[in-house]
Chain A
Amino acid sequence: DSGVTQTPKHLITATGQRVTLRCSPRSGDLSVYWYQQSLDQGLQFLIQYYNGEERAKGNILERFSAQQFPDLHSELNLSSLELGDSALYFCASSPRAGVGNTIYFGEGSWLTVV
């Protein structure tokens, strides 16, 4: 158990809908990351927050947004969902923002768009 908690574990929703994925980082970790894993794209970095502030942005679609709250939990909002958004979404956390900090992954949220 990495200590990173993600909910829900599984989610099935229809095209055009909006969903929110929730992440609780490891206790004390200030940095949160979101990754998308799909068969054709592998593990793709979406966005990073550090202590409530956006730190880095990757290949995140404009339909997607995220935030980190004062209690350090994070949410990833996916809207106007398309079939191609079906993937496993991982949240990860690390103690600080800096090279060499071990990044711990949660078990992911499986999103299926039908």
Chain B
Amino acid sequence: QQQVKQSPQSLIVQKGGISIINCAYENTAFDYFPWYQQFPGKGPALLIAIRPDVSEKKEGRFTISFNKSAKQFSLHIMDSQPGDSATYFCAAQGGGNKLTFGTGTQLKVEL
């Protein structure tokens, strides 16, 4: 049973464009939603995270939008750069502390 659904599976964006990745969750016990970035051969690294008591969090070019009633959240990458090309995972964390990950989105930013 997949508790965090992520889309799209892959995404190609032109340099300078906006990359948008969407996630939806089912378990209302989740109360922390991080995004991880993974480069080939590396482990996932925390990019940005949000709690459900806020609707948006911005850090540089990265923004999380959160819709608690719809149980959805998304990552927006503004002014996408070739160096942003990586796999992005949304995740959710609840009382059990473990992270439940989405299936990942392979982002490619083309020149």
Chain A residues in contact with chain B, CB under 8 A? 2, 4, 31, 33, 42-43, 45, 48, 55-56, 58, 90, 92, 97-108
Least Cβ–Cβ distance between B84 and chain A, in angstroms: 19
CA of A48 to CA of B34, assembled, Å: 18
CA of A18 to CA of B96, assembled, Å: 29
Contact B98 A33 (CB under 8 A): yes
Least Cβ–Cβ distance between B53 and chain A, in angstroms: 12
Interface size class of B (residues with CB under 8 A): 20 to 34
B99 at the A interface (CB under 8 A): yes
The tally of CB-CB contacts under 8 A between chains A and B is 57
Contact B93 A107 (CB under 8 A): no
Contact A2 B32 (CB under 8 A): no
Q: Which residues of B contact A56 (CB under 8 A)?
A: 96-98
CA of A90 to CA of B44, assembled, Å: 9
Least Cβ–Cβ distance between B85 and chain A, in angstroms: 19
Chain B, interface SS category: loop
CA of A31 to CA of B98, assembled, Å: 10
**Contact of A107 (CB < 8 Å), options: B42, B49, B94, B100:** B42
Contact B43 A108 (CB under 8 A): yes
In the complex, per-residue mask of B78-108: 1 if CB is within 8 Å of any chain A CB, else 0:
0000000000010001111111111110000
CA of A104 to CA of B102, assembled, Å: 17
B60 at the A interface (CB under 8 A): no
Contact A97 B97 (CB under 8 A): yes
In this complex, the member of B43, B93, B94 whose beta carbon has the largest number of chain A beta carbons within 10 angstroms is: B43
> Which partner residue on chain B sits nearest A46 by CB separation?
B98
CA of A39 to CA of B98, assembled, Å: 21
Contacts A99-B31, A99-B93, A100-B51 hold; do A45 and B98 have CB atoms under 8 A apart? yes
